[in-house]
Amino acid sequence: MSNAPSPTAAGTPVPSVALRFAEDVPSPETADDFNTETVSRKMPFDGVVQQIYIDIPAGVKSLAGFQLKDAERGIKQFPFDDESEYASYDDVSQFWPVSFPLREGDQVEVEYINYNSNVDSHFLKVWLIFVGVDAMPYTLDELGDRNGVQL
């Protein structure tokens, strides 16, 4: 599978990229503690996160998790609800419908957390599927004018 952009009907490349946020999160030293690790990326161009791909291995038993933040605006984008600070799963490899706009240079963070003191670490992976504004039927300014969109 190639990481090359897909061509449009006109033959020009569509800026689109899968941004990998992965971290081997060390375990805490004691059972009543936790460790966190943060992976940050700057957006390579104006666009929209279209979805995320989550890859959590079997054996995590929901004792490790993550949250996705639009660090530029200080907005937690995943998990969706206000009650959950982190999403935690076991043996999950799937896409999730997470969508929000970003400008070139905006910072996105995935903060991982590990509560499991019975293992050395957990290797957790999140990818953002980021599509450039040139591949969309609207501009970021038009998108920013929509109700509920913060840009």
List the chain pLDDT tens, one digit each, 151 residues: 344 445 555 555 668 899 999 999 999 999 899 999 999 999 999 999 999 999 999 988 899 999 999 999 999 999 998 889 999 999 999 999 999 999 999 999 999 999 998 888 999 999 999 999 888 777 778 777 776 667 7
Q: Which helix (H) or strand (E) holds 142?
A: helix 140-144
Q: Looking at residue 87, what DSSP letter applies?
A: E
Query: How many structural domains comprise the chain?
Result: 1
Q: Containing domain of residue 89, as a range?
A: 16-132
d(CA 107, CA 75): 11
Judge whether 79 lies within some domain: yes
Residue type, 34: F
Q: Hey, what are 19's tokens?
A: 């941004």
Judge whether 90 lies within some domain: yes
| Residue 83 neighbours by CB under 8 Å, 6+ apart | none
CATH label of the domain that carries residue 106: 2.60.120.230
Residue 77 to residues 24, 49, 71, 72, Cα–Cα distance (Å): 22, 10, 10, 12
pLDDT at 137: 75
Judge whether 139 lies within some domain: no
Judge whether 137 lies within some domain: no
Q: pTM (2 decimals)?
A: 0.83
